[in-house]
Amino acid sequence: MNIDINCDLGEMSLADGTGNDEAIMPFISSVNIACGFHAGDPLTIEQTVRSAIRNDVSIGAHPGYPDRENFGRKPMSMSHRELRAMILYQAGAVKAMAEAAGARMRHVKLHGALYNTAATDYIMSMNIVRAVKDLDSSLVLVGLSGSQLIRAARNAGLTCASEVFADRAYNDDGTLVSRIVEGAVLHDTDLMIRRVIRMIREKVVESISGRLIPIEADTVCIHGDNETAPEFVKKLAEALRAEGIAVRPPGGK
């Protein structure tokens, strides 16, 4: 039994510092690197790639909407052609940085509103899947467990990884509770660890209404943008190993 621990990093500029990135990297197995649209910049991408290589962490792109003001968390209207070009542009940048450093980019995970919209929009998801396949058909596409993005990837024959969240509450339909709703973000680290282990072992999660819903867990997301993230991810990795659950990236490295 195994699970990937992923984290969205590279979401600050070098001028502002790198936050928790260096402290988190040793305890994760894959990293999703901001591509410069919702956050990040070329130097930050390069530095995050190098840090991932030093820590033997699988490298992935984290494309989002071009909306720094809202950190990519506000939906945007975009044509299929624009969406395809945006995915290729952003993921291609991280791929180039990884290859220039002697590594390979292994996966793609969408960010924020782009991630959430694709989770419920099959047509949009198919467009994204085609863009990822055209960039590199060996890439793993990470998406919300049970989502339309996972369905689209499987139907197109693209390797995918079903993602669960340690610190987020779920609706009864398996989608994430909106961040504007009270209780959407969890803070009890012991509870979060128990939830993750249950999602892996029992393939269920308790929704915000108390209902048990089915879930697939190939990878668990840790949000690195809070001061307790390094301590939590270390504690989670130790708890998983104590349960006999290996921590390794989806699809191998």
192-211 pLDDT, tens per residue? 999 999 999 999 999 999 99
Q: Is the dihedral of CA 18, 23, 26, 31 positive or negative?
A: negative
Is the pTM higher than 0.75? The answer reads yes
CATH numbers and ranges of domains, the chain: 2-247 (3.20.20.370)
138-168 pLDDT, tens per residue? 999 999 999 999 999 999 999 999 999 999 9
Take residue 66 and report the two structure tokens written for it.
């071009």
- Residue 18, pLDDT score: 58
Take residue 58 and report the two structure tokens written for it.
């699988």
CA distance 60 to 33: 6
- The arithmetic mean of pLDDT across residues 116-131, rounded, is 98
201-242 pLDDT, tens per residue? 999 999 999 999 999 999 999 988 778 899 999 999 999 999
The residue length of the chain stands at 253
Cα end-to-end span (Å), the chain? 17
**Other C-beta atoms lying within 10 Å of the C-beta of residue 80:** 14
- The arithmetic mean of pLDDT across residues 21-43, rounded, is 96
